Amino acid sequence: MSFSREHFLTEAKRIIDFCQERKVTVRLLGALAFYHHCPRYNYLQDTLKRVFTDIDLAARSEEGERIREVFKALGYQEDMEVRVLYGTGRLVFNHPNGLHCDVFLDCLDFCHVIPLRDRLDVDFPTIPLAELFMEKMQIVKLNEKDIIDTIMIIREHGIGEEDTEIINAKLIARRCAQDWGLWKTITMNLDKVSQKLEQYRAQLREEDYEDVTQKIAAIRRYIEKEPKSLAWKMRSKIGERVKWYKEVDELPQA
């Protein structure tokens, strides 16, 4: 069963409001978070034919049982196979109407690990912009919908060293400077976004194209000038001879 964007947004708000009333911390991520955080430019998801498939949330592992209670009260059923196979890192809930919700606990653990638990109080109702950016840019096999979301969030926000309506490029650079693999994937994906931006140029206003191009360059400058850790330097000597990321098919999938 397919749902409209408005249905996804309404249901996400219902879940987050219900959790907030019960003092359970959850934050939106994924395509809906990008849409919410980009009120001026979320039309780009329509222009570039972005579709929604589920609701993604982040939370803290110590609140796992309370989250289960919340979703049960909201009419969802937990996917017990995910619970048995993958433990406490991820919860999956399904509604009888066909709606699907993922809850990631403490971090995103896909091609690379993106810590979340200590940053969940920085923004509301989504995870912070820097983490939204890294959520997409840590994907090695980046697809078109991920690129669309990335272009949109870059167009909407400034680039800097804080979190309030700014993509915190300083934080992104620090994470990359500690982890050569993450650095490799993010810089590789910035190239892919730039290449795709050229393909989208006819569908975008020239000012949009120029703005995103300049901001990608700004993020790169932050990453390049950040002092690299000893671990980063040692791993960089090995380079691509050893795989620097986890394959998607090695990861827990709902």
pLDDT at 250: 46
Q: Which two tokens stand for residue 46?
A: 């329509």
pTM, full prediction: 0.93
What is the rounded average pLDDT of the residues 25-32? 96
Structural domains in the chain, sorted by start: 5-250 (3.30.460.10)
The answer, yes or no, to whether residue 254 has pLDDT greater than 90, is: no
Task: State pLDDT tens for residues 214-243.
Answer: 999 999 999 999 999 999 999 999 999 999
What is the rounded average pLDDT of the residues 143-153? 93
The answer, yes or no, to whether residue 252 has pLDDT greater than 60, is: no
Angle between helices 230-238 and 169-178 (to 10 degrees): 60
Cα separation, 113 vs 182, in Å, equals 9
What is the rounded average pLDDT of the residues 203-215? 96
What is the rounded average pLDDT of the residues 168-190? 99
Q: Out of 5-19, 86-100, 109-123, 197-211, which region has the weakest mean confidence (pLDDT)?
A: 86-100
Q: Would you give the DSSP letter of residue 12?
A: H
Give the model's confidence band at 1: pLDDT under 50 very low, under 70 low, under 90 confident, else very high.
low
Helix-then-strand count for the chain, H and E? 11, 9
The answer, yes or no, to whether residue 251 has pLDDT greater than 70, is: no
Averaged pLDDT score across all residues of the chain:
94
